[in-house]
């Protein structure tokens, strides 16, 4: 076991911290489409939209662990957690399956734009009656000549309102259950693709999410990802990367949050002493630190495991639960420690609102516990 961070990894993270902090200084979360596109291009110039994509496409060709370390730095420096999430979803849930399952021609056509942030991608899996239940989808893809005709609606797709590409999943064989689902990379300028307005959300405001409609949308067969019927495998592969790496963002947020709370506890005085001298406050801070470190090492292990064996699921499930639940609990503690300041808009209350959905996306906490139970043989 090697718990050290190599010099190259540390230098890369420090560069990201500097560049992100400089670019987003004074910026606030925004769902405005033009703001989102401008930020994506800026993230592309920093290498964030192509961390684990091939060098020949303009990416960094980084491992899962190195990708997570970069996202951790991104989350720590960026005041807009929603936008950091948007970049990670674009990269891990969309660009990774294009990297690993698209034909050579489609890879050559799409990956450079994805790596640069010029082409924004949305992951469209969820439907009104099919969230984590991938065997119960209603969107269909009917084979038609040298392509497929897609019909139906996806209910929740991060980045959809600003996307130029949608990675989506549709039923090609209704009789085959989850083996009848296929994956597609669909350019949004194809006739029959409709992108909804941004959905109002509790948190992650900087990531516009919306509905995606397919109305007799003819998609050339070249945009099929993998083989027909391989959609469930493509989706699980993308989720392995997302569950392992994306939550590095929340490690960075918790690190920044803890530093703010420690500084406040050191400076704020009540009853003639620093509030950090009260055990009720100091123990709360110690617990926040313990949650953060435990979650961090589970995440690093999950990313290391992904680099060794991309089919192992238990480590990422353990990591996702630990990070997401720590993010919510630490944010609640931060509000309590900061008091009225923590309740003001843009402080710990925003971190709390951004933390709550981490227990829902990429598979709910309950789904992760199901994964762990199956790994135990139950």
Best CA proximity match to 73, nearest among 35, 37, 39, 46: 46
Catalytic hit among 19, 72, 127, 242: 242
| Strands annotated E in the chain | 121-124, 140-144, 147-158, 165-171, 181-187, 193-195, 209-220, 224-225, 269-270, 273-274
Residue for token digits 């709910």?
364
Given a contact cutoff of 8 angstroms between Cβ atoms, the answer to whether 323 and 299 are in contact is yes
Q: For residues 353 and 333, give the distance between their C-alpha atoms in angstroms, rounded to a whole number.
A: 13
Given a contact cutoff of 8 angstroms between Cβ atoms, the answer to whether 82 and 203 are in contact is yes
Q: For residues 131 and 157, give the distance between their C-alpha atoms in angstroms, rounded to a whole number.
A: 11
The residues with which 165 forms a beta bridge, in sequence order, are 121, 187
Given a contact cutoff of 8 angstroms between Cβ atoms, the answer to whether 120 and 37 are in contact is yes
Chain centroid to Cα 165, Å, comes to 16
Catalytic annotation present for 242: yes
Catalytic residue set: 242
């Amino acid at each position: 076991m090697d718990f050290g961070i190599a010099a190259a990894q540390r230098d890369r993270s420090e560069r990201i911290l500097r560049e992100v902090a400089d670019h987003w200084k004074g910026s606030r979360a925004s769902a405005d489409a033009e703001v989102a596109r401008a930020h994506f291009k800026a993230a592309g110039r920093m290498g964030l939209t192509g961390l684990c994509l091939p060098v020949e496409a303009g990416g960094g060709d980084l491992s899962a662990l190195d990708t997570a370390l970069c996202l951790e730095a991104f989350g720590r420096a960026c005041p807009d957690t929603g936008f950091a999430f948007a970049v990670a979803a674009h990269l891990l849930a969309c660009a990774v399956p294009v990297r690993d399952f698209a034909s050579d021609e489609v890879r050559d056509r799409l990956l450079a734009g994805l790596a640069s942030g010029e082409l924004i991608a949305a992951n469209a899996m969820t439907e009104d009656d099919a969230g984590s239940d991938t065997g119960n989808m209603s969107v269909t893809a009917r084979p038609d000549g040298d392509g497929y005709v897609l019909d139906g609606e996806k209910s929740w797709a991060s980045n959809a309102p600003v996307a130029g590409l949608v990675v989506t999943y549709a039923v090609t064989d209704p009789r085959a259950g989850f083996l009848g689902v296929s994956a597609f990379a669909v350019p949004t300028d194809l006739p029959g693709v409709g992108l909804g307005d941004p959905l109002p959300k509790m948190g992650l405001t900087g990531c516009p999410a919306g509905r995606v409609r397919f109305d007799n949308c003819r998609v050339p067969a070249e945009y099929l990802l993998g083989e027909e019927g391989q959609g469930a495998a493509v989706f699980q592969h993308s989720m392995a990367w997302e569950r392992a790496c994306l939550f590095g963002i929340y490690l960075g947020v918790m690190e920044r949050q803890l530093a703010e709370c420690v500084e406040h506890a050191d400076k704020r005085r009540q009853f003639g002493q620093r509030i950090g001298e009260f055990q009720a406050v100091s123990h709360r801070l110690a617990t926040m630190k313990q949650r953060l470190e435990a979650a961090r090492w589970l995440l690093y292990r999950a990313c290391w495991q992904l680099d060794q064996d991309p089919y192992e699921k238990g480590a990422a499930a353990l990591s996702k639960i630990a990070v997401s639940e720590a993010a919510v609990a630490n944010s609640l503690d931060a509000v309590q420690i900061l008091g009225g300041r923590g309740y003001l808009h843009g402080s710990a209350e925003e971190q709390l609102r951004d933390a709550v959905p981490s227990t829902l996306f990429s598979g709910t906490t309950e789904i992760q516990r199901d994964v762990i139970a199956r790994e135990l043989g139950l």
